[in-house]
Structure 1
Amino acid sequence: MNIEFIEAIEQIGKEKGISKEILIEAIEAALISAYKKNFGTAQNVKVYIERDTGEVKVFAQKSVVENVENELLEISVEEAKKYNPRYQQGDILEIEVTPKKFGRIAAQTAKQVVVQRIKEAERNVIYDEFSGRESDIVTGVIQRIDKKNVYIDLGRVEAILMPTEQTPNEEYIQGNRIKTYILEVKKTTKGPQIFVSRTHPGLVKRLFELEVPEIHDGIVEIKGIAREAGSRTKIAVHSRDENVDPVGSCVGPKGARVQAVVDELNGEKIDIIKWSKDPAQFIANSLSPAKVTSVNVNESEKIANVVVEDYQLSLAIGKEGQNARLAAKLTGWKIDIKSKSKIEG
Structure 2
Amino acid sequence: MSSELLDALVLLEKEKGISRDVIIEAIEAALVSAYKRNFNQAQNVRIDMNLERGTMRVFARKEVVDQVFDARLEVSVEEARRIDPNYQVEDVVEMEVTPKDFGRIAAQTAKQVVTQRVREAERGIIYSEFIDREEDIMTGIVQRQDSRFIYVSLGKIEALLPINEQMPNEHYKPHDRIKVFLTKVEKTSKGPQIFVSRTHPGLLKRLFEIEVPEIYDGTVEIKSVAREAGDRSKISVHSENPEVDPVGSCVGPKGQRVQAIVNELKGEKIDIVNWSEDPVEFVANALSPSKVLEVIVKEEEKATTVIVPDFQLSLAIGKRGQNARLAAKLTGWKIDIKSESDAREAGIYPVDNEKLLSFDEEDELGEE
TM-score using structure 2 length:
0.90
Q: Which residue of structure 2 aligns with residue 103 of structure 1?
A: 103
Q: Which residue of structure 2 aligns with residue 71 of structure 1?
A: 71
Question: How much does 1:83 deviate?
Answer: 2.6
Question: Is 1:33–2:38 an aligned residue pair?
Answer: no
8 Å contact from structure 1 (residues 5, 54) kept in 2: no
Q: Which residue of structure 2 aligns with residue 269 of structure 1?
A: 269
Matched residue SS, 1:300: helix
Structure 2, unmatched stretches of 5+, are 346-368
Q: Which residue of structure 1 aligns with residue 297 of structure 2?
A: 297
C-alpha change, 1:181 and 1:86, in structure 2 (3 Å) is farther
8 Å contact from structure 2 (residues 289, 315) kept in 1: yes
- Aligned residue identity for 2:31: L
Q: Spell out, residue by residue over 1:164-201, the C-alpha distance to the aligned partner (whole angstroms, 9 max, x if none).
A: 11111311111100110001111122211110011110
* 2-structure distance, mates of 1:26, 1:8: 15
- Aligned residue identity for 2:27: I
8 Å contact from structure 1 (residues 137, 203) kept in 2: yes
Q: Which residue of structure 1 aligns with residue 50 of structure 2?
A: 50
- Aligned residue identity for 2:289: P
- Aligned residue identity for 1:119: R
Q: Which residue of structure 1 aligns with residue 206 of structure 2?
A: 206
Question: How much does 1:51 deviate?
Answer: 4.2
Q: Spell out, residue by residue over 1:90-123, the C-alpha distance to the aligned partner (whole angstroms, 9 max, x if none).
A: 3332111111211121112111211111111111
Q: Spell out, residue by residue over 1:1-34, the C-alpha distance to the aligned partner (whole angstroms, 9 max, x if none).
A: 4333212221222211111111111111111122
Question: How much does 1:44 deviate?
Answer: 1.6
- Aligned residue identity for 1:155: G
- Aligned residue identity for 1:188: T
Q: Which residue of structure 1 aligns with residue 147 of structure 2?
A: 147
What percentage of aligned pairs have identical amino acids? 63
Question: How much does 1:86 deviate?
Answer: 4.0
* 2-structure distance, mates of 1:253, 1:55: 73
Q: Which moves more between the two structures, 46-55 or 247-256?
A: 46-55
Whose radius of gyration is greater, 1 or 2? 2
* 2-structure distance, mates of 1:298, 1:184: 38
8 Å contact from structure 2 (residues 28, 47) kept in 1: yes
Q: What aligned pairs does 1:228-267 form with structure 2 within 5 A after superposition?
A: 228-267=228-267
* 1-structure distance, mates of 2:161, 2:136: 15
* 2-structure distance, mates of 1:85, 1:171: 83
* 2-structure distance, mates of 1:94, 1:175: 62
Structure 1, unmatched stretches of 5+, are none
Matched residue SS, 2:342: helix
- Aligned residue identity for 2:236: A
Kindly report structure 1 stretches of 4+ aligned residues shifted beyond 6 Å: none
* 2-structure distance, mates of 1:248, 1:90: 85
TM-score using structure 1 length:
0.96
C-alpha change, 1:296 and 1:46, in structure 2 (3 Å) is same
C-alpha change, 1:133 and 1:86, in structure 2 (3 Å) is farther
Q: Which residue of structure 2 aligns with residue 333 of structure 1?
A: 333
The root-mean-square deviation of aligned C-alpha atoms, in Å, is 1.4
Q: Spell out, residue by residue over 1:197-239, the C-alpha distance to the aligned partner (whole angstroms, 9 max, x if none).
A: 1111001011111111111101111111111111111101111
Question: How much does 1:55 deviate?
Answer: 1.4
* 2-structure distance, mates of 1:85, 1:271: 92
8 Å contact from structure 1 (residues 165, 198) kept in 2: yes
- Aligned residue identity for 2:208: F
Q: Which residue of structure 2 aligns with residue 196 of structure 1?
A: 196
- Aligned residue identity for 1:281: E
Q: Spell out, residue by residue over 1:131-182, the C-alpha distance to the aligned partner (whole angstroms, 9 max, x if none).
A: 1111011111000011241000111100000111111131111110011000
